[in-house]
Structure 1
Amino acid sequence: MLFFSATVLVAGYVRGYGGFGFSMITVAALSLFCAPAQVVPVVLILEVSASLYLLPGIWRLVNWPILSWLLAGVAVGTPVGVWMLGNVSPAPMKMAVAVIIFSLALMLRQGFVVKRRLKRPETMAAGLASGVLNGAAAIGGPPAILFFFSSPVGAAISRASLIAFFLVTDILAAGFCIAASLMTVGHARQAAILALPMAAGLFLGKRAFFRTPETVFKRRVLLYLMMLSLLILIRSAKLFLT
């Protein structure tokens, strides 16, 4: 429990600071000791709780028009990803996605930016990619993260929109878990125990965000994304080799 609490504290800080990353950190770390079926429902409960905690402070900053088209793409792409889950080996696919994400994040960190506001078809395409990856490999976040932080909208709007994005997608995922009887009262009890260190991490991360200049914030977010993509690559390579 000490290790779990420390992991959730760190992941909460990253989530409060950048608006993403909680699931990727906690699932990777806690899966060292527990089966994914035990970990994922707890993480989903904590994810929804984290978004609800952060949402009141950023509600007015969410870019709802862009977010709606992004989520429309997710709705279309998720069934495709689920089909791929049953027909494509997940480990090589995750490895390829991790390499692509790392490369794009590195390119953005080196100064590449999209200088115009993306149109609706391009926004929906980003959501489509997120939905496919979420259904096929449970890593739907990075395309949405790259979409927002490569666009000309400000860091605060990008962070706020990501928090709202993950709230919707996590509620959907939690609903599927409940429907499949994969989420139990025991998972809720474990999430309640871990809620305190997560809340402390969220609070500290949120405070750090408001004290960070926008240019520094974007560089740190992309660095986080590169580190998380390496984490995905290492875990997927281990699964592939075994």
Structure 2
Amino acid sequence: MNLDPVLVGAIVTALVAGATRGFSGFGGALIFVPLVSAAYGPKISAPTLLVIDTALTLPFVVQAFRACVWKQVAPIAIGAFAGVPAGVFILKHTDPLVLRWALAGLSLSMLAPLILGWRHKGQHRLPSKLAIGTFAGVLGGAAQMSGPPVIAYWLGGGQPSALVRANLFAFFALATIASGVAYAAGGMLTLDVGRLALLLGPAYAAGLFLGGRAFRGATDSHFRLAAYWIIVVAVVLSLPVLDPLFGR
């Protein structure tokens, strides 16, 4: 039996994305959506990740709800709810190639300062939390990539990796509700999405398990370096200019 190389690549991507998500609490979408979009398009890959991630991260979410700081999570989640509809509109009406370039550029521009050691100081005020949440919601609706602005905000404040990870799992659980409602209302939860979720779900689940195990022995510095560089490599490999190298 001949294996479909495109599907094999998507399965490997799901495994790596799940491992990154399980380890750091974020990054799964930054890996999954650009690379799977190259094969199946953003309108399939983003809803597919929503279905897979929602179903498989419930054990992580239960733990995160107990460990997170709700006064940090709730305002950003509220902002995300407000921003998701605009993101879904962008997803439905933007050229896929343009969207891929834009998401890659945004991801790298927000992560680069953190990789170089930037940290923000000062109080976490409500207006800034709501604004960051709204921006995250737009990116989440467009491609299930709400992580970069929230990651930059929390990790940029120098908080412990365990707290950031718990906050991220709690935030993504809430933000996913808004994305799920918007995708369903827009008719984007199709049979094709369901079939791809069934094919890629087991690999994503295996990655979540492996990533969760790896986090238990990780230091804060290991947490940051591993998550940042995996995401950078994934974004670079997903750039449309490299499509000919991968037969995309």
TM-score (normalizing by structure 1): 0.80
Paired position in structure 2 for 1:235: 240
Map Cα deviations across residues 49-92 of structure 1 (whole Å, 9 max, x no partner): 23313213333221211111112222333455567678987866
Distance in structure 2 (CA, Å) of the matches to 1:84 and 1:38: 14
- SS of alignment partner, residue 39 of structure 2: coil
1:166 aligned partner, one-letter code: F
> In 1, Cα distance between the equivalents of 2:74 and 2:93?
29
Supply the AA of the counterpart residue of 2:211. G
- 1:53-202 equivalences under 5 Å are 53-81=59-87, 95=101, 98-99=104-105, 101-135=107-141, 139-184=145-190, 187-202=193-208
Structure 1 gap ranges (5+): none
Asked if the contact 1:90/1:137 (under 8 Å) is kept, the reply is no
Distance change (3 Å), C-alpha of 1:187 and 1:81? closer
Specify which of 23, 33, 37 is matched with residue 17 of structure 1.
23
How far is the alpha carbon of 1:154 from its aligned partner? Answer: 1.3
- Aligned sequence identity (%): 30
Structure 1 residues 149-158 or 20-29, which shifts more? 20-29
Tell me by how many angstroms 1:99 deviates: 3.8
- Equivalence for 2:53: 47
State the distance in 2 between where 1:111 and 1:102 align.
Answer: 14
Determine if contact 1:23/1:47 at 8 Å carries over to the other structure: no
Could you tell me whether the CA contact under 8 Å between 2:111 and 2:148 is conserved in 1? no
Residues 201/138 of structure 1: CA separation in 2 closer, same or farther (3 Å cut):
closer
Encode CA deviations 1:91-146: one digit per residue, 9 max, x unaligned: 66764664454244232222222244422222222112213334556533211111
Amino acid at match of 2:135: A
Q: In 2 relative to 1, CA 145–198 (structure 1 residues): closer, same or farther, beyond 3 Å?
A: same
In 1, are the aligned partners of 2:119 and 2:157 still within 8 Å (CA)? yes
Aligned residue for 2:232? 226
Q: Secondary structure at the match of 1:33?
A: helix
Task: Give the equivalent residue in structure 2 for 1:215.
Answer: 221
Deviation at 1:12, TM superposition (A): 0.7
| Superposition CA RMSD, Å | 3.1
Matching residue's letter, 2:32: T
- Aligned mates of 1:209, 1:156 — CA distance in 2: 9
Q: Secondary structure at the match of 2:63?
A: helix
Q: TM-score, normalised by structure 2?
A: 0.78
- CA change 1:163–1:179 in 2 (3 A) is same
Q: 1:24 to 1:97 in 2, by over 3 A?
A: closer
Change (3 A) 1:226 1:76: same
CA distance in 1, matches of 2:184, 2:42: 15
Mean Cα deviation higher: 144-153 or 32-41? 32-41
